[in-house]
Amino acid sequence: MAVYPGSFDPLTYGHIDIVERALEIFDKVILAIAHETSDASKRSLFTVEERIEMAKEVFEHLPNVIVDSFKGLLVNYVGETNARVILRGLRATSDFEYEFHMASMNRSLNIHLDTMFMMTSKDYFFVSSRSIKEVAALGGAVEGLVPNLIARRLKEKFKLPLTKEKQIGWEY
């Protein structure tokens, strides 16, 4: 069992790809969605309830994916599960420094936990929740980078007409 923590604001195909590949290694993956922080600059677009609801819908067909949320220290949350592995994805060298610090800090907080990294797939190395939000806010098409249900929710958030683009793979 592994815990895959993150903001998932929103979930992208980059995240989904990591989860699907992790299921080849671990019997269960807990997608652990972080609650909003009090830091206004890190405010999420979607509330934790919305992110949970969307993730549950996306992973409905995968019973070995458990969608949960956590507040506070990640190591405390992971310690309460049977998992001993924290899973994270890496896209670019720029991810490395932050992830290295966090993994080292988490290990110093709980020596029994280890962080495992999976490389992004070539199709999603440029996909981040932040860039998805930026593109969607400006009315760009994000279908193909996030599931259709999430593309639709982004359009609703940014009050864009749902019928404006008829992209390939766009479903109603």
Q: Which DSSP string corresponds to the chain?
A: -EEEEE--TT--HHHHHHHHHHTTT-S-EEEEEEPPPS-GGG--SS-HHHHHHHHHHHTTT-TTEEEEEE-S-HHHHHHTSS--EEEEEE-SHHHHHHHHHHHHHHHHH-TT-EEEEEEPPTTTTT--HHHHHHHHHTT---BTTB-HHHHHHHHHHTT--TTS---TT---
What minimum distance in Å lies between the beta carbon of 164 and ligand ADP?
25
* Residue with Cβ nearer ligand ADP (14 or 147): 14
Give catalytic residues, as residue numbers.
15, 42, 91, 129
* Residue with Cβ nearer ligand ADP (47 or 162): 47
What minimum distance in Å lies between the beta carbon of 161 and ligand ADP?
27
What minimum distance in Å lies between the beta carbon of 99 and ligand ADP?
6
Would you tell me which residues interact with ligand ADP (CB under 6 A)? 6-8, 12, 14-15, 18, 88-91, 95, 120, 124, 127-129
